[in-house]
Chains A and B, each alone.
Chain A
Amino acid sequence: MKNVWWKVLAVLLIGYALSAGLLIGIPNLAMNSILEETIRNLFYHVPMWFGMNILMIVSVIYAIRYLKNGQEKDDFASVEFANVAVLFGILGALTGSFWARFTWGQFWPNDAKLNGAGIGLLIYLAYLILRSGIEEPNKRARVSAVYNVFAFPVFVVLIWILPRLNDSLHPGNGGNPGFSSYDIDQNMRMVFYPAVAGWTLMGVWYASLKIRLRKIESAENV
Chain B
Amino acid sequence: MNKIIKGIMNACALILLLANEVAAQDAETSLFRKEGKIYVVIGIMLLILSGLTAYLIHIERRTKKLEDQIKKGRS
Contact = CB atoms under 8 A, between A and B. Distances in A.
Given A205-B56, A220-B70, A19 B45 contact: yes
Interface string A52-83: 00000000000000000000000000000000
A18 B59 contact: no
Contacts of B38: 22-23
> How big is chain B's contact interface, by range?
10 to 19
A170 to B, nearest CB: 26
Given A18-B46, A22-B41, A213-B63, A11 B53 contact: yes
A208 to B, nearest CB: 9
Contacts, number: 36
A216 B41 CA distance: 40
A95 to B, nearest CB: 15
A31 interface: no
B66 A18 contact: no
B70 A209 contact: no
Contacts of A220: 70
B11 to A, nearest CB: 15
B46 A216 contact: no
A212 B56 CA distance: 14
Contacts of A19: 42, 45-46
A216 B67 contact: yes
A18 B60 contact: no
25 contacts: A11-B50, A11-B53, A14-B49, A15-B46, A15-B49, A18-B42, A18-B45, A18-B46, A19-B42, A19-B45, A22-B38, A22-B42, A23-B35, A23-B38, A206-B56, A209-B59, A212-B63, A213-B63, A213-B66, A216-B63, A216-B66, A216-B67, A216-B70, A219-B70, A220-B70
